[in-house]
Structure 1
Amino acid sequence: MNAVPRSWLYVPGHRDDRVAKALTAGADAVVVDLEDAVPAAQKDRARELTTALLDEHRPGGPQLWVRINPPGTEAGERDLAALAGRRADGVRVPRAEDPDAVRAVGDRLGLPMQLLLESARGLWRAHELAAAHGLVAGIGLGEADLAADLLVDRDEGLHWARGAVVVAARAAGLPSPVQSVWTDVGDLDGLRASSRTGRVTGFFGRSVVHPRQLGPVHEVYTPSPEERAAAERVVATAAAAAQRGESAVLDADGRFVDPAVVARARTVLDRAAPSDQPAPAPSSGETR
């Protein structure tokens, strides 16, 4: 499995059958959803099943995250009470707008947090939110809600917002944001093309809502053997130059290698899988 997750598979927390399938679907991370995917009448069941899962979960397999309900809501407060003291790889915090609320979640749970910016207010305060707590592990967009709040087209109207969240994340020293979901589950070509655009514009990894989306996402967000080999050559060239007391040098192909180029090469290697794993086979099983 990659050290940096390429895929984040959402699964509704009230469906224990789908959660079990999601954990073996081949995702790098599974996000048990207590929020949008769970009907109001099923919130308590989702919470109970999720806490039981966390109590039983052992290391190995995909990372296990939980998307809570918005802090400050009754459901959100119940989520925090249930998760306090339990182990998870982290929580996703929806509708993040208030740095004080983020700090309260971090202090209460002591878990890494990914913040979802889903409103104009949240996007406007992205820089504050990214730096609100030492446990903020990432920020990203909830594009459907954000587009509705901004009164824009979800694709064309959010180009600038995507750039803004990339800048805010990197300025705060956070990882590249995780790309938002592609909702047309049947359009894998569209998912693949959109993911390529996301990768070249500063995102890494993608949230998905169905196992059949994992293959295209892993394909796009796994550095190719050629990319890895090129990165290894850059690092080796830089190491040899450093031994000669040089910080910038031309490589064997006449390309300029300086510290910025080396840093980019190391990022490629960090994101590469330690061993090649086959992409998950298309699945007809539902997870959401």
Structure 2
Amino acid sequence: MLTWLYAPAERPDLVAKALAGPADVVIVDLEDAVAPGNKDLARAEVVALLATPRPRVQVRINDTRTAWGQADLRAVGALAAGTAGIRVPKAESAGQMRDVAAAVPGAELHPLIESALGLERAYEIASADPAVASIGLGEADLRADLGVSDEAGLSWARSRLVVAARAAGLPAPAQSVYTDFRDLEGLAESCRAGRAMGFRGRAAIHPAQLPVIRDAYRPGEEEVAAAREIVAAAGTGAVALPDGRFVDEAIVRQARRVLDDQLAHGEKGI
């Protein structure tokens, strides 16, 4: 999976439109996209939606330390197993993840790290329970918590998350949303930087962002050709290719990852 699209739970028309579109997963949002006065309505819409199994839907609940979050868990607990999982905001402890897992048995959990404390505990959260299937950053809240005002200030946090996911045996994390949905060039540049840092795929707030994300994460023709050449040389020990590139086991693993990315886009591999 490479694309996740947010849709506000209180707008079933937008949720339906998102589900009819090309996003790999639709995140039905009970948290930031829903005004306080509409939380009950949004929760009821999610319950109605999940009456039918929705394997392409994640539900982002409210902070589980709040009354809203607890009400979300009670409402979706018996229905969550038929979805792509529960996105858990404000993740700050392993115990929190185990409590959520107990409340939504059979559902995958996707915690979001949004604070300095959560970031310090990223590996603990990622490895807290077998139900944890991915981790991600909530960068808007993290920026506010850290007092960060530019992209460079989040570089360490992003790398920390990539390392924590890998150490816990989870898939590479997806990037946080790019909030200016009209700036598609900036989105593409940000995605290319994220891919170079070890991220795979990205969440979106507007359907127009989806093809840009896919294109940015698609390996280029030259990259794929180079990866194929490296993999073809595998099994002969450490060697130098005719163009001077040195190939060893680590380089081969990287090349295979490029080809895996290519296959994720539905293209023919080697």
TM over 0.5: yes
* Structure 1 pair 81–230 and aligned structure 2 pair: CA distance change class (3 A): same
Structure 1 equivalent of residue 258 of structure 2? 268
TM-score (normalizing by structure 2):
0.90
Structure 2 equivalent of residue 96 of structure 1? 91
TM-superposition CA deviations, 1:22-70 (whole Å, max 9, x none)? 11221122111111101122222222222222232466xxx32111111
| 1:255 aligned onto 2:245 | yes
Per the TM alignment, residue 237 of structure 1 is displaced from its structure 2 partner at its CA by 2.5
Q: Could you tell me how far apart the structure 2 residues matched to 1:152 and 1:93 are?
A: 23
Q: CA RMSD in A?
A: 1.9
- Where do 5+ consecutive residues of structure 1 fail to align? 277-288
Aligned mate of 2:9, from 10, 13, 20: 13
Aligned mate of 2:212, from 202, 209, 216: 216
Decide whether the 8 Å contact of 2:54 with 2:84 is kept in 1: no
Q: Could you tell me how far apart the structure 1 residues matched to 2:125 and 2:61 are?
A: 17
Secondary structure class of the residue paired with 2:10: coil
Aligned mate of 1:128, from 114, 124, 131: 124
Per the TM alignment, residue 136 of structure 1 is displaced from its structure 2 partner at its CA by 1.4
Decide whether the 8 Å contact of 1:6 with 1:222 is kept in 2: no
Structure 2 equivalent of residue 281 of structure 1? none
Q: Give the total of aligned pairs.
A: 263
TM-superposition CA deviations, 1:55-89 (whole Å, max 9, x none)? 32466xxx321111111211111111122232111
| 1:105 aligned onto 2:105 | no
| 1:157 aligned onto 2:153 | yes
Structure 1 residue runs of 4 or more that deviate by more than 6 Å after TM superposition: none
Per the TM alignment, residue 253 of structure 1 is displaced from its structure 2 partner at its CA by 4.3
Secondary structure class of the residue paired with 2:135: strand
TM-score (normalizing by structure 1):
0.85
Per the TM alignment, residue 229 of structure 1 is displaced from its structure 2 partner at its CA by 3.4
Per the TM alignment, residue 8 of structure 1 is displaced from its structure 2 partner at its CA by 0.9
| 1:72 aligned onto 2:68 | no
Secondary structure class of the residue paired with 2:58: strand
| 1:234 aligned onto 2:234 | no
Structure 2 equivalent of residue 196 of structure 1? 192
Structure 2 equivalent of residue 279 of structure 1? none
Identity percentage of aligned residues: 52
Secondary structure class of the residue paired with 2:185: helix
* Structure 1 pair 20–196 and aligned structure 2 pair: CA distance change class (3 A): same
Q: Could you tell me how far apart the structure 1 residues matched to 2:3 and 2:150 are?
A: 21
- Where do 5+ consecutive residues of structure 2 fail to align? none
Decide whether the 8 Å contact of 1:13 with 1:47 is kept in 2: yes
Residue identity matched to 2:102: D
